Chain A
Amino acid sequence: MTILLFGITKDIVGSSTLSVPTSSVTGRKIPKTVKELKQFLGESYPELNKLSSLAVAVNNSYAEDNEKINSYDEIALIPPVSGG
């Protein structure tokens, strides 16, 4: 599944999108919920773990941590931004 990245998450990852495998050949656990996705991404990009307030959109709706995700979902990480 493809994750769209915004704000500081884009800067942390260094790209505007990120691909998350939907089947595992390495035995790594595939994220099935928003919470698991955050954990999965945090393992690869520890800087993401520092973000206390990070909105995740699934199919253009704000998603809580327990929401299930599938390979065809459109997912975006939308951290708060402060500039003016």
Chain B
Amino acid sequence: MNPRYIRQTSLKSFGAERQAKLGAASVLIVGLGGLGIPVAQYLNAMGVGTLGLMDQDIVALHNLQRQVLYAEKDLGRLKLDVTQEKLSAQNSQTRLRLYDSFLTKENALEIIEDYDVVVDATDNFPTRYLINDACVILDKPFVYGALHGFEGHVSVFNYNDGPTYRCLYPEMPGFEEIPDCNENGVLGVIPGIIGTLQALETVKVLTGVGEVLSGELLVYDGLSQYSNKVRFKTNPKNKKIKKLQERYESSDCDVVPSINAEDFQVLRDSGKVHTLIDVRTPEEFQSHHLEEAISIPLSHLSLANPQIKADRKIYLICQSGKRSELALKQLQIDYPDLTFYHILGGMNKMLTVCP
């Protein structure tokens, strides 16, 4: 018996048999942010045989308050690279598979197919619905965690006959309904708590120990230490998904002019005259921004702004691409004669393509 895991193999209801199941298992962790980090660290420490790690972001200063795997010296590096280094040092026996990409409808089925369990540690609805649908199609369970301020949700979806994410929230919320962490904020320790619970549920799914949190949503509020489980049922129609949706980017159907980060970088390199408006908050702008960007926070976009001129193309950027899309819709109304483009993936994506 591997002495490394003796503190858990000596547990009567865990034992060497369940340890062996962990060792034979493979888990895909989508997102290496506040939720993904505790999941990756604990599963790696506990001896899960194969971990798939997926992220495209770089480590930014405002991540450090909650993404406790990363250090100041890691600023500007790919999260994927830093995580690989630290996890390899933590447990050299784990097989790590790295995916330097976002989960998309093009790659989701092919990647998820190789894994026993998927951990949804993302920060946006489109990817959550994509993970749900791909897992239903491939008949894989996925361990869900999500945050809002001081609160969090945990559940295991699509576990055997159990319900899915769509049984709880059938349709993706509209674009402007629910803020994300960038807009709303999150207390540093909350993703640690929720992510650690996701790691626990993953171990339960893989080994069969305990009762899996399937058919129940755990709702946690850190401010009051309230936690409660809400039961919900499988809606059979949600188990019958056979193919992915055409698009997951946004639940409304308006087509918004956009440019991907790679193409925008090519345009910047070419020296073409353009205006770039950064619609994030002044604090975010101060922490980092593209050289030529001018700061007009989303809340300050208003009519007759002298920096919005007709003589050049106008691009909009935010952190993830969500607020820039909102800004674009607003500007299209305010300036019907001008054409605006927003940058897909925002600063997160730009930082990966800037030299």
Binding site for B on A (CB under 8 A): 6-8, 10-11, 16, 50-53, 55, 57, 60-62, 76, 78-84
Contact = CB atoms under 8 A, between A and B. Distances in A.
Given A60-B230, A83-B147, A83-B184, A53 B172 contact: yes
Given A52-B173, A82-B123, A84-B191, 5 more contacts: A6-B221, A78-B219, A79-B177, A83-B191, A84-B123
B228 A8 contact: no
A60 B230 CA distance: 5
Interface in B160-211: 168-174, 176-181, 184, 186, 191
B231 A60 contact: yes
Interface stretch (B31-39, B88-96, B258-266, B274-282): B31-39
5 contacts: A6-B148, A8-B148, A10-B151, A53-B169, A82-B148
B150 to A, nearest CB: 9
Contacts of A62: 168, 217, 230-233
Given A62-B168, A62-B233, A83-B184, A52 B177 contact: yes
A50 B173 CA distance: 10
B287 interface: no
The 10 closest A-B pairs by CB, nearest first: A84-B123, A62-B232, A83-B147, A81-B148, A83-B181, A57-B230, A53-B169, A7-B148, A81-B146, A84-B35
B229 interface: yes
Nearest to B228: A60
B123 A80 contact: no
A31 B153 CA distance: 28
A84 B34 contact: yes
A61 B35 CA distance: 26
Contacts of B128: 82
A44 to B, nearest CB: 18
Point out which of A51, A52, A62, A82 has the most chain B C-beta atoms below 10 A from its C-beta: A82
Contact-residue bracket for chain B: 35 or more
Contacts of B147: 81, 83-84
Given A52-B173, A57-B230, A82 B124 contact: yes
Contacts, number: 107
A81 B219 CA distance: 11
B68 to A, nearest CB: 14
B145 interface: yes
A60 B176 CA distance: 28
B28 interface: no
B125 A76 contact: no
A7 B35 CA distance: 17
A79 B232 CA distance: 14
B180 A80 contact: no
A51 B173 contact: yes
A7 B173 contact: no
A6 B230 contact: no
Contacts of B19: none
A55 B230 contact: yes
A81 B151 contact: yes
A53 B170 CA distance: 7
Contacts of B217: 55, 62, 78
A60 B229 contact: yes
Interface in B207-251: 217, 219, 221, 223-224, 228-233
Contact of B33 (A6, A16, A84): A84
B221 A82 contact: no
A8 B191 contact: no
Contacts of B174: 50, 52
Interface string B127-171: 010000000000000000111110111000000000000001111
Given A62-B232, A81-B153, A7 B178 contact: yes
